[in-house]
Copies of this chain bind each other. A is one copy, B any other.
């Protein structure tokens, strides 16, 4: 257990990418296996519950990535608005890099059906984390707690919509519009 074996990581990373682009049901296990160059046995060794376990892991992995981008965006920011603006532009760049098609990693992966309680719970949890992190960053940059909360709320709400609209239009422009929509021109 010195360091995590690369196979598991490859599996998770490939799954995260594919789910983000095609949705949970849009990706077959075989496709993930091929993309990660992993044998089937390894999948079910690392994830006894198979695809759904892998999706959960992939979502959490992608959530961490996003959190890291958020942190980086606020690192050199002078104000909350600066941080959020940088964050949106970083996401826009990533979106373009992924052929103008990747969706929100969480909703793409975990929006399966109303009945899957576990997926819903994890989704809520991750969004809660994102919200808290954003709020904390905003406060650290001098925003009032109450204002920071509203700001985080507006960011994630608007960003979700912008993400969708970016896919619709095939352009990262909507994502870049987010700060303007939140803070006004």
A127 close to chain B: CB less than 8 A = yes
Q: Within the assembled complex, what's the spacing in Å between the Cα atoms of A23 and B116?
A: 14
- Known A120-B170, A168-B107; contact A113-B157, beta-carbon cutoff 8 A: no
A145 close to chain B: CB less than 8 A = no
The reply to whether A113 and B165 contact each other, CB–CB distance below 8 Å, is no
The reply to whether B103 and A111 contact each other, CB–CB distance below 8 Å, is yes
The reply to whether B164 and A177 contact each other, CB–CB distance below 8 Å, is no
Q: State how many copies of this chain the complex holds.
A: 2
The smallest beta-carbon distance between A29 and chain B, in angstroms, is: 14
The reply to whether A124 and B168 contact each other, CB–CB distance below 8 Å, is yes
- Give the dominant DSSP class at A's interface: helix
A104 close to chain B: CB less than 8 A = yes
A residues contacting B by CB (< 8 A) are: 21-26, 99, 101, 103-104, 107, 111-114, 120, 123-124, 127, 154, 156-165, 167-170, 174, 177, 181
Q: Provide a sorted-by-A list of 15 A–B residue pairs whose CB atoms are within 8 angstroms.
A: A23-B112, A25-B25, A25-B26, A99-B114, A111-B167, A120-B170, A124-B168, A127-B165, A127-B168, A156-B165, A157-B165, A158-B161, A159-B161, A161-B161, A161-B164
